[in-house]
Chain A
Amino acid sequence: MNSFNTIWANGRGNLATWLLWGLAAVFVVYTFASGGYLIAVLQFALIYTVLVTGLNIFMGFTGQVSFGHNAFAAIGGYSSAVLTATYGWEPLPAGLVGLAGALLCALVIGYPVLRLRGHYLAMATLAIGLIVYEVAVQWQSVTQGYMGISGIAPIGIGRFTITSDRGLLVFLMIAAALALLSAAGIRRSRLGRAFVAAAGSEDAARALGIDVARYKLIAFMISAAYAAIAGSLFAHAVGFVSPEVFGLPMVVMSFTMLYVGGIGTIAGPALGAIIISVLPESFRTFKDYQDLAYGAALIVILIYAPRGLASLPELWARWRRRSA
């Protein structure tokens, strides 16, 4: 639990922590029980949790920037879609092929690209996302272009498939929890410390004998793997993929979730994914002003909790100390 201690550094056990988790629990239980469309919202939030957790390993832990992780989600999603819907594979081996494809792609692209720094790296990753999008549009014999691939079977192994909404919700909760726990494990490991060291100061890390370029590449590949898994989960959860699913809005969405939740923290991706998914739904009744309300809420969060929602307990503790 070491890493959780650092995350909730000064805020463990205080009211804000409990309130935050309590609200999340109430929302999950309510959604589960009511069975309304919020189940779909929560399902997407959990899939995004996996994606953003991966992004967090590269951006939060390792301090790099990627605008191109939608590419890896697309590789995972399309592998699952094509291999199951067109060639009748089982979801698991299809997903593994997607995972391997994303890892290979991350290795081939990351090796030269990660030598770039700052804006150049960001631009290069943005290009990866655009290229994969174009391939998904143009390679019609496989991807069917903008028509997309429909009729993707639900997730399952052999005869056991998850067809109910609640079953899928539980499955995705487990997937998201595993993503968070594995990220916590990585952060605590030797590998995780090397990532954070590279984020802190590349020169200092290199002076200590840490091969920064290599660890940046490893972080890039690990985060690509999370993105590929998220893409596969999406394909099976919705039963449909098309290029637009993995477009730039996915990048914008995952960035918002990462920063609102708390970049570099463990719980941040989950908090961000849930809040960012639920927030627009709460404002749906505002109709044309939905985006306005949503934007305003985001600004409020980022002003009062600039390090994300995961830092709220810490802020709360500081406020208590000040007023005491």
Chain B
Amino acid sequence: MKSIATPTRILEIEGLSARYGHVEALRPVDLHVDEGELVAVLGPNGAGKSTLMNAIMGLVPTQGQVKFRGRAVPRRAPAAAAGLGIVLVPEGRGIFAPMTVAENLELGAYLLNDKHEYARRTARVLAMFPRLKERLAQTAGSLSGGEQQMLAVGRALMSEPKILLLDEPSLGLAPRIIDEILQKLGELNRQGLSIILVEQKAPLVLKLANRAYLLSVGSIAAEIDPRTIKSHDELVQYYLG
């Protein structure tokens, strides 16, 4: 099947829906991400943002299509999606608490079996998050929330993803830490990494995003240009439809 997608599209999603048993958690969704874009997915609690991320990864049963650089991503095969370079930093970070920081990073590059390349990537991640360097031998469970989020992002970077999906990285963190993390994400994006950033706290990410989708009750309500949103109130208008 030949794709008609424009060559600059890194991710194109058509009619992607997901259901848990009889409950339709995500109504058919269309969205796309261009190479080098940072796309925000906004929406209130329960709008289906996490389901959308899990659906893209193939962690939940889905219908519809996900295309990566014009090629269909196999469904229900998160390992295959990860192999293509689609990597998710899940909600709640999903770090492996009983393992050390170093072991967590190693797991990020699980598909890699090359010591030199591994060392190079580790150095790169530690340069980006120097605080992790001091904590390498500590168990991940003993880190602070902010450090855990840095570890989760660092671990995802270990696989050198082509597109990074982040599910509510600000959850439970102090504003100062959130700023720091968002700043790192902006940096990564400027280096050319495509990113989908899921957030409930919209104002935080609108400064950063090239485009934004508004998700409400399991489907896309609107696609918005962040530059046109001037106030919080205006966004609330969108939420309420």
Cα A200 to Cα B97 in complex, Å, equals 7
Are the CB atoms of A208 and B159 closer together than 8 Å?
yes
Are the CB atoms of A204 and B94 closer together than 8 Å?
yes
Query: Is B95 an interface residue, CB under 8 A from the partner?
Result: yes
A9 / chain B contacts, CB cutoff of 8 Å = 139
Rounded to whole Å, the gap between the CB of A218 and the closest CB of chain B is: 14
Per-residue 0/1 for A283-323: is the Cβ within 8 Å of any B Cβ (1 yes, 0 no)? 00000000000000000000000000000000000000000
Whether A204 contacts B106 in the complex (CB less than 8 A), given A193-B99, A209-B82, A211-B79, comes out as: no
Are the CB atoms of A208 and B100 closer together than 8 Å?
no
Q: Tell me the number of A-to-B contacts counted with CB atoms below 8 Å.
A: 76
B137 / chain A contacts, CB cutoff of 8 Å = 5
> Could you say which of B59, B83, B107 contacts A194, with CB atoms under 8 Å apart?
B107
Query: Is A241 an interface residue, CB under 8 A from the partner?
Result: no
Cα A24 to Cα B24 in complex, Å, equals 58
> Could you say which of B59, B98, B99, B103 contacts A207, with CB atoms under 8 Å apart?
B59
Are the CB atoms of B88 and A200 closer together than 8 Å?
no
Query: Is B226 an interface residue, CB under 8 A from the partner?
Result: no
Q: How large is the interface on B (under 10, 10 to 19, 20 to 34, 35 or more residues)?
A: 20 to 34
27 A/B residue pairs, CB under 8 Å, sorted by A? A6-B100, A6-B139, A193-B106, A193-B110, A194-B107, A194-B110, A197-B96, A197-B110, A200-B95, A200-B96, A200-B97, A201-B94, A203-B90, A204-B93, A205-B107, A206-B57, A206-B59, A207-B59, A207-B87, A207-B88, A207-B90, A208-B108, A208-B159, A209-B82, A209-B83, A209-B110, A264-B98
Query: Is B43 an interface residue, CB under 8 A from the partner?
Result: no
Are the CB atoms of A210 and B107 closer together than 8 Å?
yes
Are the CB atoms of A206 and B79 closer together than 8 Å?
yes
B57 / chain A contacts, CB cutoff of 8 Å = 206-207
Query: Is A114 an interface residue, CB under 8 A from the partner?
Result: no
Q: Which of A185-200 contact B (CB under 8 A)?
A: 190, 193-194, 196-197, 199-200
Per-residue 0/1 for A110-127: is the Cβ within 8 Å of any B Cβ (1 yes, 0 no)? 000000000000000000
Cα A197 to Cα B107 in complex, Å, equals 8
Are the CB atoms of B83 and A193 closer together than 8 Å?
no
Whether A200 contacts B99 in the complex (CB less than 8 A), given A207-B82, A207-B87, A209-B79, comes out as: yes
Query: Is B146 an interface residue, CB under 8 A from the partner?
Result: no
B87 / chain A contacts, CB cutoff of 8 Å = 207-208
Rounded to whole Å, the gap between the CB of B186 and the closest CB of chain A is: 23
Query: Is B111 an interface residue, CB under 8 A from the partner?
Result: yes
Nearest neighbor of A5 in chain B, beta-carbon distance: B137
A207 / chain B contacts, CB cutoff of 8 Å = 57, 59, 78, 82, 87-88, 90, 94
A206 / chain B contacts, CB cutoff of 8 Å = 57, 59, 78-79
Per-residue 0/1 for B13-56: is the Cβ within 8 Å of any A Cβ (1 yes, 0 no)? 00000000000000000000000000000000000000000100
Whether A200 contacts B98 in the complex (CB less than 8 A), given A206-B59, A207-B78, A209-B159, comes out as: yes
Rounded to whole Å, the gap between the CB of A32 and the closest CB of chain B is: 35
Query: Is B155 an interface residue, CB under 8 A from the partner?
Result: yes
A208 / chain B contacts, CB cutoff of 8 Å = 82, 87, 107-108, 110, 155-156, 159
Which A residues are closer than 8 A to B by beta carbons? 5-6, 9, 190, 193-194, 196-197, 199-201, 203-211, 264
Cα A9 to Cα B142 in complex, Å, equals 11
B139 / chain A contacts, CB cutoff of 8 Å = 6, 9
Max chain B Cβ within 10 angstroms of own Cβ: one of A197, A208, A209, A211: A208
Are the CB atoms of A201 and B96 closer together than 8 Å?
yes
Are the CB atoms of B54 and A203 closer together than 8 Å?
yes
A5 / chain B contacts, CB cutoff of 8 Å = 137
Q: Which of B88-129 contact A (CB under 8 A)?
A: 88, 90, 93-100, 103, 106-108, 110-111
Cα A201 to Cα B54 in complex, Å, equals 14
Whether A196 contacts B59 in the complex (CB less than 8 A), given A207-B82, A210-B107, comes out as: no
Rounded to whole Å, the gap between the CB of A64 and the closest CB of chain B is: 15
A193 / chain B contacts, CB cutoff of 8 Å = 99, 103, 106-107, 110
Rounded to whole Å, the gap between the CB of B94 and the closest CB of chain A is: 3
B79 / chain A contacts, CB cutoff of 8 Å = 206, 209-211
Rounded to whole Å, the gap between the CB of B179 and the closest CB of chain A is: 25
Query: Which 6 residue pairs across A and B have the least CB separation, nearest first?
Result: A204-B94, A209-B82, A200-B96, A206-B78, A207-B88, A201-B94
Cα A209 to Cα B78 in complex, Å, equals 6
Nearest neighbor of B112 in chain A, beta-carbon distance: A209
B90 / chain A contacts, CB cutoff of 8 Å = 201, 203-204, 207
Cα A305 to Cα B212 in complex, Å, equals 51
> Could you say which of A6, A199, A201, A210 contacts B110, with CB atoms under 8 Å apart?
A210
Cα A199 to Cα B103 in complex, Å, equals 14
Cα A194 to Cα B97 in complex, Å, equals 13
Rounded to whole Å, the gap between the CB of B86 and the closest CB of chain A is: 9
Rounded to whole Å, the gap between the CB of A314 and the closest CB of chain B is: 11
B159 / chain A contacts, CB cutoff of 8 Å = 208-209
Cα A123 to Cα B227 in complex, Å, equals 56
